[in-house]
Amino acid sequence: MKFVDEAFIDIAAGDGGNGCVSFRHEKYKEFGGPNGGDGGRGGHVYAVADSNLNTLVDFRYSRRHEARRGEHGMGSDMFGAAGDDILLKMPVGTIISDAETGEVLYELLKEGEVVTIAKGGDGGFGNMRFKSAINRAPRQKTPGWPGEKKSLKLELKVLADVGLLGMPNAGKSTLISAISNARPRIADYPFTTLHPNLGVVRVGPEQSFVVADLPGLIEGASEGAGLGHLFLRHLQRTRLLLHVIDMAPFDDAVDPVAQAKAIVGELKKYDAALYEKPRWLVLNKLDMVPADERAARVKDFVKRLRFKGPVFEISALTREGCEHLVQAVYQQVKAQQAAEHVPVEVDPRFVELPPDTSSSSSS
């Protein structure tokens, strides 16, 4: 199914039922008082987070959602029944905002979380509510209150621990298929990935993390070029970014350093907070580099990029180096889950840093 991460819907809670004017008409009762009941409240509209859903595609085909109104009050002290509520199931990670103002109203971040997105109107009062010592036969009643009506924008930001980013055809889909249960479409041409893919990486018993593979970015993505700009939002909730680099591009004229700098620049333009997230380099496709040239090529790449941080040398196709990467990522994710925004010392056994990079500055 095509991934849909944005939708617009109109919702309407039910109106309240009207109150009733009625009097007792019973044999042998000389003074029949008022007995008009209240109207029932209108139905509410709820949103619930459901982990079994991963797209908003259902709301593309069903945009209008209305709850039933409350029943009117009746005589003989009978109150109207409340209108039926409706429950809209949405993926975990959905942001609900006002379609006109853009104000964020709710965020569904936990499985089973329920929020009231439109409140039904209260029922009106029947005349029995207005009975008093000086008004024994009231003929007043009130109409039901209208239910809330809203136009909403639904936006999905996937909840993943780790996000893969890089140029098209850098090998991100091959990497996520090598380390997780995800099976994205893989081909040897750019923009094979057209929508985000989520995969669960199993490290051990009850030890796992979620990784997201996004469409490739190109220079100008933050301004609308290519496909990646549509999905940069999905990186905002990740704890760690893995910047996947193609170390063996088809075109010899392509400079991986220039491509890497372009990606970093797009992150900074799109969101400063996203740019500041922990970011590790994953140098991919090293199986296609002659063994005697690998060390020199990696050293030259990191030196020219002036990157100071964890660097991993892998081949997603042969899975060389993938286990080291997975173990290091799990350590980072686990530590951040326990204490967000606290720097974590990565186990050096799982980090491979090229030599002579100590004097370089951070990208």
- Which residues are annotated as part of the binding site for Mg(2+)? 173, 193
Residue 89 φ/ψ, nearest 5 degrees: -85, 130
End-to-end CA distance of the chain: 37
- Distance, CA of 18 to CA of 304 (rounded, Å): 75
Residues tagged in the binding site annotation? 166-173, 191-195, 213-216, 284-287, 315-317
CB–CB of 236/274 below 8 Å?
Answer: yes
Tokens 């990497």 -> residue: 175
How many C-alpha atoms does 180 have within 13 Å on its Cβ side?
Answer: 26
SS3 state of residue 300 = helix
CB burial string 255-277: b at 16+ within 10 A, e below: ebbebbbebbbbbebbbeebbee
Residue 279 φ/ψ, nearest 5 degrees: -135, 125
DSSP for 51-98, written as a single string: TT----THHHH--EEEPPPPPPPBTTTBPPPPPPPEEEEEETTEEEEE
Task: List CB contacts of 169: < 8 A, sequence separation 6 or more.
Answer: 188, 189, 190, 192, 216, 246
Residues tagged in the binding site annotation for GTP? 166-173, 191-195, 213-216, 284-287, 315-317
- Distance, CA of 254 to CA of 41 (rounded, Å): 66
